[in-house]
Amino acid sequence: MAIAVLAPACADEGMWTFDNFPSEAVKQSYGVEVSAAWLDHVRLSTLRLTNCTASFVSPQGLLLTNHHCVESCLGELSSRDDSLLENGFSAPTTNAERRCATQVADVLVSMENVTAAVTKAGDGFSDEAANDARKRTLTALEQACEQASGRSSSGKLKCQAVTLYEGGQYFLYKYKRYDDVRLVFTPETDIAAFGGDPDNFQFPRWSLDFAILRAYEHGKPARTPEYLKIDFAGPRAGQLVFVSGHPGSTSRLETHAQLEFERDLSLPTTLLRTSELRGGYIQYGRANQSDRELVEAPLNSLENGIKVRRKLLDALHDDTLMNRKLSEEATLRALANMPGPDPWKQIETASQRERAMYLPYTFIEGAAGFNSILFRYARLLLRGADERAKPNTERLREYTDSMLPRIEQQLYARVPIYGEVETLTLSFSLQRMREWLGPDNPLVRTLLARESPETLATRVVAESKLEDPEVRRLLWLGGKGAMDQSRDPMIELARSIDPDARALRRQFDDEIEAPINAASARIATARFKAFGTRIYPDATFTLRLNYGTVTGWTENGTAVPPFTYLERAFQRATGSSPFKIPDSWMRIKDRLDLRTPFCISTSNDIVGGNSGSPLIDARGDIVGLMFDGNIESIAGSYWFDPSNNRAIAVHPAIIREALDKVYAAKSLLAELEGS
Amino acid sequence: MAIAVLAPACADEGMWTFDNFPSEAVKQSYGVEVSAAWLDHVRLSTLRLTNCTASFVSPQGLLLTNHHCVESCLGELSSRDDSLLENGFSAPTTNAERRCATQVADVLVSMENVTAAVTKAGDGFSDEAANDARKRTLTALEQACEQASGRSSSGKLKCQAVTLYEGGQYFLYKYKRYDDVRLVFTPETDIAAFGGDPDNFQFPRWSLDFAILRAYEHGKPARTPEYLKIDFAGPRAGQLVFVSGHPGSTSRLETHAQLEFERDLSLPTTLLRTSELRGGYIQYGRANQSDRELVEAPLNSLENGIKVRRKLLDALHDDTLMNRKLSEEATLRALANMPGPDPWKQIETASQRERAMYLPYTFIEGAAGFNSILFRYARLLLRGADERAKPNTERLREYTDSMLPRIEQQLYARVPIYGEVETLTLSFSLQRMREWLGPDNPLVRTLLARESPETLATRVVAESKLEDPEVRRLLWLGGKGAMDQSRDPMIELARSIDPDARALRRQFDDEIEAPINAASARIATARFKAFGTRIYPDATFTLRLNYGTVTGWTENGTAVPPFTYLERAFQRATGSSPFKIPDSWMRIKDRLDLRTPFCISTSNDIVGGNSGSPLIDARGDIVGLMFDGNIESIAGSYWFDPSNNRAIAVHPAIIREALDKVYAAKSLLAELEGS
């Protein structure tokens, strides 16, 4: 039924905003009351990390999240001689907790609907002018919100404008930010990511994917009265469970033309680039066994992306589902009976234009041709200087006043940068840019007129001074004057492509983003008219709540049960990563309870960004820690299949067993147990 | 018009067999008579190499082909200290000519239509049994043909059964084989492949992609009265030209369901695997500058495959063309009015089954999980021993008596094998097999129960003795007895997967190949009924002739002229590979005629396998040497677009200029000029 699909409040599907949670439906299906107080408590106990979710689990700011969510922090805190990825980390006292220099944690304090103001800003303009006007309005709203909060007694907030329903709604989300987040505990990667890439998105599963952080304020553990208690007994099969967190991105409301663009162009192209880089990383690790950890974190993240995109591509190759999309569009078109040009057709036209500019946009403005941490610093500094010279509302949105503290945190953080890895990534990306844009592309010709990709990459990485945070700080503070005088070769590289990059950005915003936004907003209006609020917006890495049950599924006629147990992990181990159980576990194997539950499968509707989310029972206690989905869940980016889309959590009992017996982290465990 | 498309004797499209060349159409369009004698002469002057084409260009067995066609020979003749790829090669006398140990060159002496006998063999059987019966018949026909030729005065021939029109016709092709082929001349890779991968499939172009070989008989230069004269002046724009050669594979007659299979599964999967390996090779070369040449030849070949597949995938994402395919099928279905089940539907059903078994088949039977030269030797030896113990007609087709001399040549050849490259390719492929089949696949679990992919690859490569041709020879001659006793770890690896691999092969043959062959033959019959012989078969790496003109095309409104000139190559050079002009040229630049034509664009319908083909004028003289197509020509695998599908040749004038002035190869040039 097309309508049932369009208005999917059936099954336990949905990534609901906290202001529109279907409490009534939960009550009808499960007899459970989700009160406003419960919602507030859960919301205020949930945090957004840089690319994950976490939750407060003690009144002293302790945070529970995934090991893979702190992987980049572990890399930053490691050196060639001491790898926290390999060895794990356990702080015996708060003094020993180590700051994750680039991490922040945001709590969503309140939400304000600003749809009317934003929509009105674009009224009467062309698509391009309206698009610009809306952006200026969003910046102005954020600025006013932050200034107002700075004057209030409850403290300064971060305000972020959020676009929901592809432009059907605009909100201001107001966050309390913790910018001092420290590492408390993490197990070794061998057990945290047991099964590695081969087991990623698989279930049954035995990955102890958890880590503990702590939020600090004024140099001391934060006081966090809103926190979630962990019930180490975990959930029962069939039990109602909720996930509060930040799903990163879905495309369920996108049109058939937009999905075709992903299927034909962006997914295959990205997969080719990342697969090649994966080969480069792996070969680097093979040839440099002792420096293998230098590429471990970027390789893991890359491999995760490859697996996701591979399955997304498979999903879009399902013609039945693609055709269902078309028929849903036809149904809504008929229901809505819109005046004026057909918005689906307008999006299709814009998507065709996007195809034509996709490669130059991706390689130059998207910087896929300049894959290097130092290059990203260079561009931040360069554009930061140019943009700060403009009034706040005239800037690129990522350089508004609201964004500056985060940029400064990144620029000032002392993190290790490995020249040979930088050269590897930069030379691969330059080479691929030359292939895809062609050696006769004017920018490619200019860049590579006398140097090969390898020579250019080697030179700019070797000669740049941007790995020094003090150099970056001085350039940032020096602003445009300092930047104009800088002869740092990475800055010169960024400067040499910036006019082309900005022109592509302008072209993209006007010719693709503006008409797509305008048409999408009209489709959203039609959808609201037809279905009211019985629909939820696509994921946007903002806070959502969903519900489901603890359940497995049926695969090729065989039931997959919802729990796994420690015993099987030992049976599955081979002694070689990624199927190696660390010595810390092997040594005390006979003292472990092999019947300890390890992982849990649930029917919650989650997606990347939900990593680290608490799995919560009706009382509001944590009964699991989300870290993955099954392989079928990846197609959830486009459509939710309740029969086999499953979320995967770490069971709290295995966390307790590990902290207690393997790592003897007694005081940490005591804090988690509230004793 | 669907019919015009189905019967494509319009435009200059078509890869015609020599027995069905449309001489009448050529006469009507161009006023040129293509006589039977002309056809025989051209056919007997054309040779098939291992994966390319060549032509006789002197009565003493001199062969003209592409540099990239002898790349693997150059690798085999190179060592760590002397790279023929880097330095080129020029034999001052015949004594200095060096044998390409694994090369053969076949001349098509005659063709015999055996359709009736083969078709009859399958009559009245199930699809599976008919498929087997046809294979037995093909083997028996080949065997009888070779035995008969051995008794004849004109000498022993190689007989190969050829399937045309997807099973609509069967032929016996009879070849005179030269198995002693020697390297005479090749320029440096930097000029032969000027532009490298970035310029591959591009035009305008400046690649001196030629090489000279010589066929030997009884240890002496072969006497070859049938040869083509080179006209170093080259062709005129607009002139009628022919290409005689061996296009490798096209899918123009395949069904919509088969193309969908390629689009959704085989192309993306292969692209991911090869892109990752590409990254591994490149990183190997970056880290081992001095041993970079060890991966140069395999990397070039891999990159060529990536570019081809990338463009094939783009072509299949063109929904207009895919839908045209569907409507062509509907037209033929209506015209043919076939009794019984719909063959297109039958192929679709079989393609669905192929999807389900594609990954295990590819990784295990297709050995994509065991990417190693030593593994390929191991399987050849293992299966060779098992198969030779059976009657000839009961064997797998690649191990029939007719194939054995070629297998022995490969096994006995002394070629360099680099352990670190073997370990690289094998460990990448094992790792990917584990990912794609999953760590719980029974074969994967068995292989990797105690070893990681890296450990396993390192061990079997280090401990195998199969890099020694004498070891291989003794195992081959020792047959099953010797093989059963061998404890060579690479043979043990091949042995351990062979039952699974053979079971997959059997399943594939019965459940996919058999019904597809049966249905394809019925479609072919319908097509013959509708269009007679006004259609040509898909490419099968057998001899074909086509015609076209010397012409450029129009790209985005700009005319691309059909000739390039030497001067522009110097302007385009950067000094770094792949845009480096070698010192041998730079030194004498002022003595070169910069107005020398370099490359030619023509409208001939060619595809991979045609590399090295002579471009021939109406007199039968060579006026160019095919080596590539433009980027649009890649879609020619599925459909021919006369407006922009172009073939690319080296101009004979630049070959003359190079041999005369750069390489001072006076006696070679004299032989080519017949003086």
Determine, for residues B264 and A317 on separate chains, whether the beta-carbon distance falls below 8 Å: yes
Least confident of A34-43, A124-133, A530-539, B659-668: A530-539
Nearest CB among B202, B317, B574 relative to A448 is that of B574
Are B286 and A435 inside 8 Å of each other by CB?
A: no
Phi, psi at A599, each rounded to 5°: -130, 165
Across the range B465-491, mean pLDDT stands at: 98
CA distances (Å), origin B666, targets B7, B89, B93: 49, 14, 11
Kindly state the average pLDDT of the residues A102-107: 97
pLDDT digits (tens, 9 = 90+) for B260-273: 999 999 999 999 99
Q: Closest CB to B268: pick one of A313, A427, A438.
A: A313
List of chain B residues whose C-beta atoms are within 8 Å of the C-beta of residue A371: none
Asked if the C-beta of A452 comes within 8 angstroms of chain B's C-beta atoms, the answer is: yes
Task: Give the one of A198, A273, A278 whose C-beta lies nearest to B439's C-beta.
Answer: A198
**Number of Cβ pairs closer than 8 Å across A and B?**
121
Of A264, A268, A283, the CB nearest to B280: A283
Chain B residues 301-320 with a CB less than 8 Å from chain A: 306, 310, 313-314, 317
A272: nearest CB among B275, B434, B435: B275
Single-letter amino acid, residue B277 = L
Contact list in A for residue B276 (CB cut-off 8 A) is 275-276, 278-279, 282
Give the per-residue pLDDT at A77: 94
B-interface mutation test, from A286, A300, A359, most B Cβ less than 10 A away: A286
Mean per-residue pLDDT, B243-247: 98
**pLDDT tier, A675 (very low <50, low <70, confident <90, very high otherwise):** confident
CB burial readout B182-212, b (16+ within 10 A) else e: bbbbbbbbbbbbbbbbbbbbbbbbbbbbbbb
Closest CB to A574: pick one of B272, B427, B448.
B448
Residue B11 confidence (pLDDT): 64
Smallest Cβ distance to A278: which of B276, B287, B574? B276
The chain B residue lying nearest A266, using CA atoms, is: B314
Tell me the pLDDT tens digit for each residue of B180-234. Answer: 999 999 999 999 999 999 999 999 999 999 999 999 999 999 999 999 999 999 9
Res A599: pLDDT = 98
Confidence of residue A52 (pLDDT cuts 50, 70, 90): very high
Contact yes or no for B279 and A279 at CB 8 A: yes
Q: How far is B317 from chain A (nearest CA, A)?
A: 6
CB contact under 8 A, B268 and A268: yes
Among B residues 253-282, those touching chain A with beta carbons less than 8 Å apart: 263-264, 268, 271-273, 275-282
Q: Are B433 and B394 in contact (CB under 8 A)?
A: no
Chain A contacts of B282, Cβ < 8 Å? 276, 279-280, 428, 431
User: What letter would DSSP give residue A542?
Assistant: S
Pairing state between β A89-90 and A180-186: antiparallel
Closest residue of chain A to B274, computed from CA coordinates:
A276
Dihedral over alpha carbons A199, A205, A207, A210 (to 10 degrees) = 120
Whether residue A514 contacts residue A211, with contact meaning beta carbons closer than 8 Å, is answered with: no
Could you tell me which of B206, B32, B44, B203 has the C-alpha nearest to residue B111?
B44
Q: Contact A649/A203 with Cβ under 8 angstroms?
A: no
> Which pLDDT value is given to residue B73?
95
Spell out the residues 6+ positions from residue A436 whose beta carbon is closer than 8 angstroms to its own. A269, A359, A363
Per residue in B646-670, pLDDT (tens digit) is: 999 999 999 999 999 999 999 999 9
A289, A300 Cβ separation under 8 angstroms: no
Give residues 575 to 594 of B whose Cβ lies within 8 Å of A: 575-577, 579
CA distance B56 to B62: 6
Q: How far is A22 from chain B (nearest CA, A)?
A: 38
Average pLDDT over residues A273-286: 97
Please tell me which residue of chain A has the smallest CA distance to B314.
A264
Residue A320's pLDDT band (boundaries 50, 70, 90)?
confident
Q: Is B291 near chain A, with CB under 8 Å?
A: no
Q: Which of A435, A459, A579 to mutate to test the interface with B (most CBs of B within 10 A)?
A: A435
The answer to whether B654 and B600 have CB atoms below 8 angstroms apart is: no
pLDDT digits (tens, 9 = 90+) for B5-51: 344 444 689 999 999 999 999 999 999 999 999 999 999 999 999 99
Does the pLDDT at position A276 exceed 50? yes
Task: Give the Cα separation of A236 and A654 in Å (integer).
Answer: 15
Residues of chain B neighbouring A281 (CB-CB closer than 8 A): 279, 283
What residues in B contact A280, CB-CB < 8 Å?
A: 279-280, 282-283
Q: How many CB atoms lie within 10 A of CB B89?
A: 23
Of A414-418, A662-666, B649-653, least confident by mean pLDDT is A414-418
Q: What is the mean pLDDT of residues A462-477?
A: 98
Closest CA to B342 of B526, B124, B167: B526
What are φ and ψ of residue A49, in 5° steps?
A: -90, -175
B340 touches chain A (CB under 8 A): no
Average pLDDT value for chain A: 95
Helix (H) or strand (E) holding B616: strand B614-616
Percent of chain A with pLDDT over 90: 91
**Backbone torsions φ then ψ of A114, nearest 5 degrees:** -120, 25
Question: B577–A452: do the CB atoms touch at under 8 Å?
Answer: yes
Q: Does B287 touch chain A (CB under 8 A)?
A: yes
The pLDDT value recorded for residue B6 is: 41
pLDDT at B3 over 80: no
Q: Which of A283, A454, A579 sits opposite B424 (nearest CB)?
A: A283
Residues 158-217 of A with CB under 8 A from B: 195, 197-199, 202
Kindly indicate the confidence band of residue B291, based on its pLDDT and cuts at 50, 70 and 90.
confident
Confidence (pLDDT) at B637: 96
Query: Please, are residues A85 and A189 in contact by the beta-carbon 8 Å criterion?
Result: yes
Interatomic CA distance for residues A51 and A66, integer angstroms: 11
Reported pTM: 0.93
The per-residue pLDDT for range A442-461, each reduced to its tens digit, is 999 999 988 999 999 999 99
| DSSP bridge partners of B54 | B47
- pLDDT reported for residue B289: 84
Chain A contact for B352 (CB, 8 A cutoff): no
CA–CA separation, B517 and B121 (whole Å): 14
- Identify the weakest region by mean pLDDT among A142-146, A531-535, A551-555, B547-551: A531-535
CA B153 to chain centre: 32
Q: With contacts defined as CB-CB under 8 Å, which chain B residues touch A438?
A: 198, 202
Of A268, A271, A428, the CB nearest to B279: A428
Q: Contact B551/B238 with Cβ under 8 angstroms? A: yes
Peptide bond between residue B416 and the one before it cis (omega within 30 degrees of 0): no
- In A, minimum Cα distance to B304 occurs at A435
pLDDT of residue B449: 87
Tell me what pLDDT residue A336 has: 86
State the sign of the Cα–Cα–Cα–Cα dihedral B247, B253, B254, B260: positive
A268–B448 CB contact, under 8 Å: no
What angle separates helix A373-388 from helix A489-508, to the nearest 10 degrees? 70
Q: Which residues of B touch A286 (CB under 8 A)?
A: 424, 427, 454
What is the full DSSP assignment across B433-502? Answer: HHHHH-TTSHHHHHHTSSS-HHHHHHHHHHH--TTSHHHHHHHHHHHHHHHHH---HHHHHHHHHHHHHH
Q: Which of B199, B277, B579 sits opposite A279 (nearest CB)?
A: B277
Q: Check residue B588 and report its DSSP letter.
A: T
Chain B: give the shortest CA distance to residue A488, in Å: 24
Nearest-by-CA chain B residue for A424: B283
* Mean pLDDT of all residues belonging to chain B: 95
**Interchain CB contact of A20 with B (< 8 Å):** no
With beta carbons under 8 A apart, name residues in chain B contacting A194: none
Predicted pLDDT at A355:
95
Interface of B with A in 504-543 (CB under 8 A): none
For the residues of B60-120, what is the DSSP string, one character each? T-EEEE-TTTSHHHHHHH--SS--HHHH-EE-SSGGG-EE-TT--EEEEEEEEE-HHHHHH
